[in-house]
Amino acid sequence: MKEKAIIKHAKMQLTELDLTSRYENSLSFHEMAKILHISGLDRNLNATIPEILTKRINENGCYTIRKENELVGCIFMHKHEMGRITVYERVTLWVAEPYRKNGFGFLLMAKISAHYVECYTISISKNNQVCANNELLGMKHLSLDEIPEFVLDTLRTLGKLRGADYKYYVNHKLYVWLQKLKELE
Ligand SMILES: CC(C)(COP(=O)(O)OP(=O)(O)OC[C@H]1O[C@@H](n2cnc3c(N)ncnc32)[C@H](O)[C@@H]1OP(=O)(O)O)[C@@H](O)C(=O)NCCC(=O)NCCS
């Protein structure tokens, strides 16, 4: 219920502030440069490189928030091959400072999660707001000992096995798959 109230408020704020939000499969060179700059500046975001970002946008799409044509918010999905399955990780959530605290961060997270609802998805974050939002979205928090050994190995190889301050959230579909694997260990 709280989730619906935040989304309703965020949508009203979009209209109020004359913003638009949509799913996109390509961004301009200028916008890509902006995202690369932001992800390099903020220690909560993972720095990425142009080739990976281009592939990510073209293949996985993204949700944006725009003021007229200017990009003021975004969220992306990064694709990982994990054993026999493909896992999508939500990455590079960003809302421009003047537009924060309107629920837009949550709206972007909710929209991309809904878009990928049929897929295995994961969110790895130490940002308290993002973790609280993951709970609101019904994602399941997993401690490291609940994650099967070979998945941990994959995360380690991908550089995704981070410090103790990071939390791992998975959607229902990935949770069920991990539980089954854990039972087989
Ligand atoms: C993290 C980030 C995307 C959040 O964006 P945002 O649009 O401000 O997010 P939300 O509005 O959904 O939530 C932020 C806060 O506003 C509050 N809020 C949202 N709607 C509200 C409302 N209608 N009334 C009052 N408060 C509200 C939320 O509860 C939350 O509160 P808190 O900070 O006290 O916990 C933004 O701060 C950012 O871009 N940070 C830099 C990059 C970054 O850290 N990304 C995350 C990487 S994991």
Spell out the domains of the chain, with CATH numbers in brackets: 2-184 (3.40.630.30)
In the chain, the percentage of residues whose pLDDT exceeds 70 is: 96
* Residue 103 CA, ligand 1 centroid: distance in Å: 6
Q: How far is the CA of 73 from the centre of ligand 1 (A)?
A: 12
pTM assigned to the model: 0.92
| Closest residue CA from atom 19 of ligand 1 | 103
More confident residue, 167 or 165: 167
Burial class of residue 13 in the structure, from the number of CB atoms within 10 Å of its CB (0-12 exposed, 13-18 middle, 19+ buried): middle
For the stretch 28-62, pLDDT in tens is 989 999 999 988 877 667 667 788 889 999 999 99
Alpha-carbon separation of residue 89 from 17, 67, 160, 182 (angstroms): 30, 26, 10, 21
Choice between 153 and 18, residue whose per-residue pLDDT is larger: 18
Which band of pLDDT confidence, cut at 50, 70 and 90, is reported for residue 163? Answer: confident
Of all protein residues, whose CA lies closest to atom 27 belonging to ligand 1? 101
Three-state DSSP class for residue 105: helix
The residue whose CA is least distant from atom 44 of ligand 1 is 44
Residue appearing with tokens 């989730």 = 3
Instruction: Please give the distance, rounded to the nearest whole angstrom, from the Cα atom of residue 101 to the centre of ligand 1.
Output: 5
Distance CA 155, CA 151 (A): 6
